[in-house]
């Protein structure tokens, strides 16, 4: 198991975790293990919290995703590179700068999500970005 954790880390498969995500990860591992050891009854009851704890230990990306449900990332300005309109979905390609590096992404937005806003190439847009993992950034639908 330790070897697989080291391989995942070296391969860059895991997101960098901020303080909230690290706390979430180790809280879930601790709670899972404590419940697995403390729950009375058949072994099947103890397996579930033990599995949850082991999952957060082996896959820190679970903690990253869970913590992101409660964190609002900072906003930066980006610009629309291109937009492709389909029947019910718009594909918007965008780029932005963070820490002297250029990043980009693609957003798939339904017509209902866009509302009356029109996007055009070169138009500035608001981007919510994760400072530790800028490639996980998303378009912020609120106006700049």
**What are 88-103's pLDDT values in tens digits?**
788 888 999 887 888 8
**90 and 110 share one domain:** yes
User: Model pTM greater than 0.75?
Assistant: no
Range of the domain at 22: 2-68
**64 and 91 share one domain:** no
**106 and 124 share one domain:** yes
Is a pLDDT exceeding 80 seen at residue 77? yes
The whole-angstrom separation of Cα 71 and Cα 60 is: 16
Is a pLDDT exceeding 50 seen at residue 109? yes
**56 and 80 share one domain:** no
**59 and 81 share one domain:** no
Instruction: Tell whether 54 is covered by a domain.
Output: yes
Q: Which residue has the tokens 């050891």?
A: 37
What is the predicted pLDDT for the residue at 74?
86
Per the CB < 8 A criterion, the answer to whether 96 and 127 are in contact is yes
Q: Name, of 37-46, 57-66, 85-94, the range with top average pLDDT.
A: 57-66
Residue ending a domain, choose from 68, 97, 117: 68
Banded pLDDT at 113 (limits 50, 70, 90):
low
**28 and 60 share one domain:** yes
What is the predicted pLDDT for the residue at 111?
66
Mean pLDDT of 22-40: 91
Handedness of CA 107, 110, 115, 118 (dihedral sign): positive
What is the predicted pLDDT for the residue at 26?
93
Instruction: Tell whether 144 is covered by a domain.
Output: no
What is the predicted pLDDT for the residue at 116?
45
Between CA 123 and CA 97, with CA 128 as vertex, the angle to 5 degrees is: 60
**Residue 98: C-alpha distances to residues 16, 40, 46, 116 (Å):** 16, 51, 45, 29
Is a pLDDT exceeding 50 seen at residue 136? yes
**Residue 74: C-alpha distances to residues 45, 81, 128 (Å):** 41, 21, 6
Within the chain, where are the H helices? 2-11, 19-38, 43-58, 60-68, 111-114
**62 and 94 share one domain:** no
Q: How many domains does the chain have?
A: 2
| CB < 8 Å & 24+ apart, contacts of 45-51 | none
**64 and 111 share one domain:** no
What is the predicted pLDDT for the residue at 31?
94
Q: Which helix (H) or strand (E) holds 124?
A: strand 124-128
Residue ending a domain, choose from 11, 43, 68: 68
Q: Name, of 3-12, 40-49, 55-64, the range with top average pLDDT.
A: 55-64
**48 and 13 share one domain:** yes
């Amino acid at each position: 198991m330790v070897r697989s954790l080291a391989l995942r880390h070296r391969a860059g498969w895991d997101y960098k975790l901020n303080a909230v995500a690290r706390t979430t990860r180790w809280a879930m591992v601790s709670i899972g293990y404590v419940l697995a050891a403390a729950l009375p009854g058949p072994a099947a009851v103890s397996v579930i919290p033990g599995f949850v704890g082991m999952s957060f230990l082996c896959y820190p990306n679970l903690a990253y995703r869970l913590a992101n449900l409660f964190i609002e990332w900072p906003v930066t300005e980006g610009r629309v590179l291109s937009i492709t309109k389909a029947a019910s979905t718009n594909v918007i390609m965008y780029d932005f700068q963070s820490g002297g590096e250029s990043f980009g992404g693609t957003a798939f937005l339904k017509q209902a999500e866009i509302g009356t806003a029109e996007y055009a190439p070169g138009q500035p847009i608001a981007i919510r970005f994760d400072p530790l993992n800028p490639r996980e950034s998303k378009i912020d639908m609120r106006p700049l």
